[in-house]
Amino acid sequence: MAKEYSRTQRVADQIQKELAQLIQLEMKDPRLGMVTVSAVEVSRDLAFADVFVSFLGIDDQEGVSNQKSVDENLEVMQSAAGFLRSELARSIKLRIIPQLRFHYDNSLRRGAYMSELIAKARSGDSDHQGESEE
């Protein structure tokens, strides 16, 4: 029999849904752009929730300015963690609401980089096939 859907996973999924709505509708910080909550991992004792976020527009940039923007946005998110936690407490019926820790999720950028590498490799293969057929 497959492993059951654990309580921590159910709590993490609910926190992810609620946070996405709260960030979109309730946060009014002008420094913060479009935020996507890509994943939430909750500790076994439900004391901490690691929230993985990505930022629209920043993910497309390269270089040091990109890292600075990511750090600034993470700082804004961390400063709003108390507000978000209190709003979560209103919408989720848990005895203890986990402390929120925000992390940047670079999986979108990493995926784009891997797709680019695959495209280069495929174009290189088609060049080699053309040479061998001649």
pLDDT tens readout for residues 60-73: 555 556 788 888 88
Given the structure tokens 């270089």, which residue do they identify? 63
In sequence order, the 6+-apart residues with CB closer than 8 A to the CB of 38 are 52, 53, 54, 105, 107
| SS3 state of residue 47 | coil
Fold type of domain 7-106? GMP Synthetase; Chain A, domain 3 (3.30.300)
Count of beta carbons in the 10 Å neighbourhood of residue 91: 14
Look up residue 40 and give its DSSP letter. E
pLDDT tens readout for residues 47-95: 999 999 988 776 555 555 678 888 888 999 999 999 999 999 999 988 8
Model confidence at 1, in pLDDT bands (50, 70, 90)? Answer: very low
Average of per-residue pLDDT values in the chain: 84
Instruction: State the helix-helix crossing angle for 81-91 and 7-25, rounded to 10 degrees.
Output: 120
What is the distance between the alpha carbons of residues 37 and 119, in angstroms, rounded to a whole number? Answer: 28
